[in-house]
Amino acid sequence: KAGVTQTPRYLIKTRGQQVTLSCSPISGHRSVSWYQQTPGQGLQFLFEYFSETQRNKGNFPGRFSGRQFSNSRSEMNVSTLELGDSALYLCASSLVTSGTTTDTQYFGPGTRLTVL
């Protein structure tokens, strides 16, 4: 079974630009979550989508947005890029989502975004 794929793997943008990252979950998985990872802050939760609906959102500004399509693929968009947005953006998929499940999350390799 193919794993979680993310495209592109590397991206260089300049301040003020916008960027769209893509994530394809494992076949059959309906939940997709996005995370930002920086050396100073570690992994931080951005948002989670399930069946095309955003179920949870972390503490990030409105410049960060996402969506999920009917085939469970998800995209994340960052508008008006800032230097501090430079990070590894990770996507993770799982079968279902609920408050107490121990369903395993599978992470993709990430997209390394550099903002100049």
Partner 1 sequence: KNQVEQSPQSLIILEGKNCTLQCNYTVSPFSNLRWYKQDTGRGPVSLTIMTFSENTKSNGRYTATLDADTKQSSLHITASQLSDSASYICVVSPMFSGGYNKLIFGAGTRLAVHP
Contact footprint for partner 1 (CB under 8 A)? 4, 31, 33, 42-45, 48, 50, 55-56, 58, 90, 92, 94, 97-110
Q: How far is residue 83's CA from residue 45's CA, in Å, rounded to a whole number?
A: 19
- Does residue 110 contact residue 48 with C-beta atoms inside 8 Å? no
What is the smallest separation between the CB atom of 48 and partner 1, expressed in angstroms?
4
Which two tokens mark 107?
């992470």
20 or 44: whose CB is closer to partner 1? 44
What is the smallest separation between the CB atom of 43 and partner 1, expressed in angstroms?
4
18 or 101: whose CB is closer to partner 1? 101
Alpha-helical runs (H) found in the chain: none
- Does residue 97 contact residue 33 with C-beta atoms inside 8 Å? no
81 or 110: whose CB is closer to partner 1? 110
Taking CA atoms, 45 is separated from 19, 49, 56, 81, in Å, by: 18, 12, 9, 18
What is the smallest separation between the CB atom of 107 and partner 1, expressed in angstroms?
3
The β-bridge partners of 37 are 43, 88
What is the smallest separation between the CB atom of 17 and partner 1, expressed in angstroms?
24
18 or 54: whose CB is closer to partner 1? 54
